[in-house]
Structure 1
Amino acid sequence: MNAAADTAESVHRSPWLDHAIRAGLIAYGVVHLLIAWLAVQLAFGEKEDSASNSGALHYLAQQPMGKVLVWLIAVGMLLLVIWRLLEFAFGFPEESDDTKRWRKRATSLGKAVIYGALGWSAVKTATGDASKGGTDGTTAKIMDLPGGQFIVGAIGLAIIAYGISLIVRGWTEKFREHLDAQGQSGQDGSAYILLGKAGYIAKGVAISVIGGLFGYAAITHEAKKSGGLDQALQTVLEQPFGPVLLTAIGLGIGAYGLFCFARAKHLSR
C-alpha cells in the first residue's frame, strides 16, 4: 500500500504530469472556444447545435477529422481528472491551515468530477452514443424522490455559489496563481490577465443562470424549467438587449478558452 502511495505521489510531482496537464488544458480551451462560437451564433439567430459542452463536442465531431479531435479531448479530460485526483490525494502540503487544505482538496475533487463528465460526454460523442438533450429528465427523476424538490433547490444554490465564486475569482484576479511569473509580466501577461478576468466572470454569470433555472424548477415543481448551459444562454437571449448580453457572454467564454491556452503555456501548480 505504501509503495503504491509513494508511486502516486512521485507521479504527482513529476514534470511529465505538467505536460499532461498542459495537453488537458488545451483540450479544455478548445471546448470553451466552440461553446463561445455556438453562443454567438445563438445570439445572431444562426444556431444549429446547442451552446453547451455536448453541443460543442457534437459540432466538432461533424467537422473533418472531428471524431479524432473529440477522442483527443476525451484523453485530455482524462489527464485533467488524473491531475485533480492526485491533487486531492497529495496536494497542497505547503498549506499550514488544515481547513483550507481540505477545502482545496475538495475543490480538486469537484473539478475532477467536472472534467470526468466532460470526458465521458466526449467518449459518447465519439462513439455516436451522445444526446444533445437537456437535463430536465434527470431533474424530473430527482424531483420524484422524497424531498426531491428541496434537493433540486439545493443543487441550484450550489451551482449559483460556484458561479459566484468564479465571478469573484475573475474580479479579484485570484486566477493569477495559475500563471507563472513570466505569464504575469509584460504586455503578454497583461493580455493573459485580461482574458482570465473576462473569462472567469462570463463563465460565472452563465453558471449562475443555470443555478437560477434549477432553483426556479424547484420552486415551481416543473423539471422542464431546469436546464444546462444551452437553456441558460437561451434565457439570457430572451432578456432586454438579450443578443448583446449573449454576445458578451459568448466572447467572455471564448476569452476563458484562450486563458486556458495561456495557462497551459505558463502553468503554475
Structure 2
Amino acid sequence: MSTSGRAQGAARRARNSTGLRVLARAGYAASGVVHLLIGWLAVRLALGSSSGSADESGAFRQLASAPGGMIVLWAVTLGFAALALWQLTEALVGVPGVDDAQEAGARVKAGGKGVLYGVLAAMAARYAVGGGGGGGGGQQESLTATLMQDPAGRWLVVAAGLVIVGVGIFHVVKGWRKKFLEDLRGAGGGKAGVAVVRLGQVGYIAKGVALAVLGGLFVAAGVTHDADKAGGLDDALRTIRDQPFGTALLIVTGVGIAAYGVYSLARARYARI
C-alpha cells in the first residue's frame, strides 16, 4: 500500500473512533469558552477597561490567571487538538454528506479549519505551560512588516485581508440565512431548539462583522504600506469602538460574540460528527 493509502486508512480509522468524536465535541465546547471570554473582554473594552486584549490570547490569559485555570487550559488544548485532527481527517478522506461537485471545496475548508484549530491548540498549550508572550496584534504587525519588506509582500497582505473580509461576509450570510443549521443534527437543526438557532444567528453575524473589520485592517496596511495598521482581533474591536456610537456598537458586538460562544457550547452536543 502506498504512503497516501496508509495515511487515508489511518484517517478513516481516526474518524470512526468514538473517543475522537467525543473529544471533537469537547473542542466545540472549548471554542464556546474562548468566545464567551472574548465577548466579555470586548464589553469591558467598550466600557473603558484598558487591561487584557479582547482576542484569543486575552481569553487564554484570563483562564491562566483564574483558580483552576490551568486545568481548564489543558482541557481546552486537548479539545482544540482533537477538533483539529477531526477536521484534518475529513480533509483527507472526505466530508460526509457532501456531493461530488462540492467535495473539493469541502475538503479545503476542512483542512483550513484543521490548521486553525491546531494553531489555537498550540496557543492554549503555550499559556498552559506558563508561556504566552504578547498579544496577537503586535505579532500580526511584526509578521505584516516582515512580509512588506518584499516588493510583492504588500499585495500578499492585501490579498490576506480580502480573504479575511470574505470569511467575515461568509459568517454574516451564514448567520442571516441560518446555514449553520446544516452543521447540526436533525432536519434543519430542529433538535437544537429555537434558542440555539437565535444564538447561532446573532453569534455568526457578530463574529462576521469583527472578522470583516480585521480583514479591512490588513487591506489598509497593505495599501498604505503601513504595518502598524494591521493587527489582531483586539485591534479590530478597538476600531469598532472608535467609530461614531462605537461604545454601543462594541457592546453589541461583544454580546454577539458571547452568543456565538453559547451556541458553540450547544454545538458540542448537537454537531454533526
User: TM bucket by the smaller chain?
Assistant: over 0.9
Matched-pair identity in %: 44
1:113 aligns with 2:118: no
2:105 aligned with 1:103:
yes
Q: Distance in 1 between matches of 2:72 and 2:96?
A: 36
2:216 corresponds to 1:216:
no
Shift of 1:96: 3.1
CA contact (8 A) 1:50 1:132 kept: no
Query: 1:57-98, CA deviations, whole angstroms, 9 ceiling, x for partnerless residues?
Result: 011101111122112111111001100000101122543334
How far off is 1:16 after superposition?
3.0
TM-score (structure 2 length as normaliser) = 0.93
Displacement after TM superposition at 1:183 (Å): 8.6
Q: Which piece of structure 1 moves more, 122-131 or 214-223?
A: 122-131
Q: Which amino acid aligns with 1:156?
A: G
Tell me if the contact between 1:84 and 1:109 (Cα under 8 Å) persists in the aligned partners. Answer: yes
Unaligned runs of 5+ in 1: none
AA matched with 1:215: V
Match of 2:250 in 1: 246
Q: What amino acid does structure 1 have at the position aligned with 2:124?
A: A
> Would you say 1:237 and 2:241 are equivalent positions?
yes
Conservation of the 8 A alpha-carbon contact between 2:167 and 2:212:
yes
Distance 2:228 2:48 in 1: 23
Aligned to 2:153: 148
- Corresponding position of 2:128: 126
Matched, 1:256 2:260: yes
Q: Are 2:27 and 1:30 equivalent residues in the alignment? A: no
1:228 — aligned with what?
A: 232
Contact 1:25–1:76 (Cα < 8 Å) also in 2: yes
Match of 1:46 among 49, 54, 57: 49
What residue in structure 1 maps to residue 71 of structure 2?
Answer: 68
Q: Which runs of 4+ in 1 moved over 4 A?
A: 1-4
Residue among 153, 170, 176 paired with 1:171: 176
Question: d(CA) in 1 for partners of 2:142 and 2:48?
Answer: 26
Matched with 1:15 is: 18
- In structure 2, C-alpha distance between the alignment counterparts of 1:242 and 1:252, rounded to whole Å: 15
State the SS of the aligned residue for 2:87: helix
TM-score by length of 1: 0.94
Select the residue among 130, 139, 146 that pairs with 2:144.
139
Is the counterpart of residue 193 in structure 1 residue 191 in structure 2? Answer: no
- The superposition leaves residues 130-158 of structure 1 with CA deviations (integer Å, 9 ceiling, x where unpaired) of 12332111110011123111111001001
CA 1:93–1:123: 2 relative to 1, 3 Å? closer
Supply the distance in 1 between the matched residues of 2:174 and 2:271 (Cα, whole angstroms). 17
- The 3-state SS of whatever aligns with 2:95 is coil
CA–CA distance in structure 1, aligned partners of residues 221 and 11 of structure 2 = 43
Is this contact kept in 2: 1:36–1:51, CA < 8 A?
Answer: yes
- Aligned-residue offset at 1:267: 2.0
Contact 1:183 1:262 in 2 (8 A): no
Q: Deviations over 1:78-125 (max 9, x none)?
A: 001100000101122543334x10101100111111111111111221
Kindly indicate whether the alpha-carbon contact (under 8 Å) linking 1:12 and 1:90 is maintained by their aligned counterparts in 2: no
Is it true that 1:55 corresponds to 2:36 in the alignment? no
CA separation of 1:115 and 1:4: change in aligned 2, threshold 3 A:
closer
* Cα distance between partner residues in 1 of 2:98 and 2:272: 16
Q: Provide the C-alpha distance between the structure 1 equivalents of 2:76 and 2:251, rounded to a whole number of angstroms.
A: 25
> Which segment is superposed worse, 230-239 or 111-120?
111-120
Shift of the 93–69 alpha-carbon distance from structure 1 to 2, 3 Å rule, reads closer
Structure 2 residue 56 is matched with structure 1 residue 89: no
Change (3 A) 1:93 1:71: closer
